[in-house]
Chains A and B, each alone.
Chain A
Amino acid sequence: MIYWQLFLSYLKIGFFGFGGGYPMITLIHNEIVMQREWISQAQLSDIIAISQMTPGPIAINCATYVGFTVTGNIWGSLLATTACVLPPLSLMLILTIFYRKLQNNKYIQAAISWMRPMLVGMIAVAAIMFLNQETFFDWSSYAICIGSFIAVWKKVNPIWVLLISALLGILIY
């Protein structure tokens, strides 16, 4: 049953979505592209680009998009998005209710701080998995990547970097 699988997958992504958007890309890639094979790697890259240019968190955008692509209707979108929102919402409520007790808990702080290097490793995986011939097909792709890297590093708003890249693409390809 595709709806049930969709619900379970996004429940999992929501529950382990530590560190927000970028580490979640690796999580989504592993679950949706590699294990379920619902969308291709190139499609995931397209979704990330669209997510960055539209408002809202990547994880939510991706859930809405994949839900529609997999089932072909709005209910799939709604189901995936709800599944993705439920775990963070409930965990956050628990954290808020027990705020005073958890605030200075050494074990939680240590667990979170040692999850951080894992998250950095996960983001690196997200970047590396897009290093393929589909993404880099000639020298112009490398030029766009290096140019974008310098711009984002210099704190140019990513939306502008994306829009200019898209414009360049239309002009040269």
Chain B
Amino acid sequence: MRELWNLFSCFFKIGAFTFGSGYAMISLIEREVVDKHCWFEREDFLNHFTLAQSAPGPFSLNAAAFVGFRVKGYWGALVSVLGLVIPSFVIILLIAMYLTDIRDNETVNAAFKALRPCVVALIAVPCIRMFIKMKWPQMIVAVAALGILLVSGISPIYMLLLGALLGVALTYFRKS
């Protein structure tokens, strides 16, 4: 019971105080889980984290799931995920409830007018960083994916499936 509470409060804290992307959360989660609570050996944690990156969904959510599960089984996973999600759920719910009223406010509107071009920059930076780190065959695939998605408007799900299939096929033919 005590361990469940520790898991909940640990991930509640992470959920309530980490802003921005999942990558920024890695060091914070590592500090809490490895240094403070000693639930994991450092190397074991990082290995699990690599695995977590291959699962869909936000990294912090995946981290909560595997840490919780390793510490206290299914209930541990559930409690950790709840702890992580509750803070942002409550905050966004309050914003959603009241934003429609204040959205017509001129000051709020002016702020959002400036935030929109800023959001474009926020998305573009990680994209370019990831792009320049890739090898050229991957670069070609990335540009092709961009083109197909923009022109056809098909669901990106098909591109993901195609990518996975491509990877499996390449490995298969390399073997045989």
Residues of A within 8 A of B (CB): 12, 14-18, 20-23, 25-27, 30-31, 34-35, 42, 45-46, 48-61, 64-65, 68-69, 74, 77-78, 81, 84-85, 87-89, 91-93, 95-97, 99, 102-103, 106-128, 130-131, 134-137, 140-142, 144-146, 148-149, 152-153, 157-159, 161-162, 165-170, 172-173
Contacts and interface: CB of A to CB of B under 8 A. Distances in A.
5 contacts: A16-B157, A35-B155, A107-B171, A122-B159, A130-B119
Contacts of A25: 123
B140 to A, nearest CB: 8
Contact of B126 (A92, A123, A166): A123
B64 to A, nearest CB: 9
B1 interface: no
Given A22-B127, A27-B157, A55-B87, A88 B117 contact: no
A56 to B, nearest CB: 2
Contacts, number: 341
Contact of A61 (B77, B88, B116): B88
A125 B156 contact: yes
Given A96-B48, A117-B138, A149-B125, A127 B143 contact: no
A144 to B, nearest CB: 5
Given A92-B69, A152-B121, A162-B122, 16 more contacts: A15-B56, A16-B56, A27-B156, A77-B92, A88-B58, A89-B81, A93-B74, A102-B51, A121-B149, A122-B156, A122-B159, A124-B142, A125-B150, A130-B120, A167-B111, A173-B110
